[in-house]
Amino acid sequence: MSGSEVTLQDISPTSINVNFNNEEIAGREPESVLLDENRKSFDINYKPFGKGLVMASLNINSLLAHIDEFRVFMNDPKIYIIPINETKLDHSINDNEVYLPGYEIVRKGRKTNGRHGGVVCVYVKCNLNYKIREDVSSDELEYVTVEINKPRSRPLLISTWYRPPDSPTCHFDYFENIVKKVDMTSYDYFLLGDINVDLMPGVKSINATKLNDIFEIYGLKQLITDPTRTTPFSSTLIDLCVTNAPIKDH
């Protein structure tokens, strides 16, 4: 895999900045009303097209219930792509109910079958040329991929994945199948989402081993280094940003 060079710089324990071409946009934390009070967000600034393409990943517990607060928070023209996890959207909720001015929504909803939680969506700014890549996804996962295109530029794949904590280990096999498809392209790739696998240094688990093995095999780098969920009793790194773009740390 190859991609644009990324310079990674931690801004604070609650945010991250990815800097292309030596230009920076600092990460920021959204209003806590939208999130689990123990969860943090991060912003990514990606510059493949000569202008900053800022991505902000959020975990919102029931998007429809917080849509007004979300619209106020998103009154920011700098953010182009917003993956959201745990939206709780199902097929009884139409796109107009979660409309965000200036954006189009790509969603993977859960069927109305008595289940709750989970599900994902991605808001894409209207002036971006994009398409949904159902082939770079899985029916078995809560996973969405969009491809961003611009003339004379290499396409960019942006995915989000919500993995419930009690997911079976076979979900990593489905994820690896997706990564294999990405690996066969020359596209830059970002995965942002609530994976619910603690990747804090020194933490050992079967799930962490499986996920890190996939990252190593396919040359993927996990960019977040600080805890994304903190409680009085624990600090975990479970909200991840993964990319195939070469990283320069400083």
- CATH code assigned at 130: 3.60.10.10
**pLDDT of the residue at 115:** 53
Residues of the chain with pLDDT under 50: 1-37, 48-50, 112-113, 250
**pLDDT of the residue at 57:** 87
Q: Is residue 1 part of a domain?
A: no
**pLDDT of the residue at 61:** 86
Tally of domains in the chain: 1
Q: Is residue 98 part of a domain?
A: yes
Record the pTM: 0.80
Residue 222, classified by CB atoms within 10 Å of its CB into exposed (0-12), middle (13-18) or buried (19+), is middle
**pLDDT of the residue at 98:** 96
Q: DSSP letters of 22-83?
A: T------PPPGGGS-TTB--EEEEE-SSSS-EEEEEEE-S-TGGGHHHHHHHT--TTEEEEE
Q: Is residue 109 part of a domain?
A: yes
**pLDDT of the residue at 22:** 29
Q: Is residue 17 part of a domain?
A: yes
The residue range of the domain holding 65 is 6-249
Q: Are 117 and 167 in contact (CB under 8 A)?
A: no
Query: ∠ CA 11-78-248 to the nearest 5 degrees?
Result: 40
Q: Are 196 and 229 in contact (CB under 8 A)?
A: no
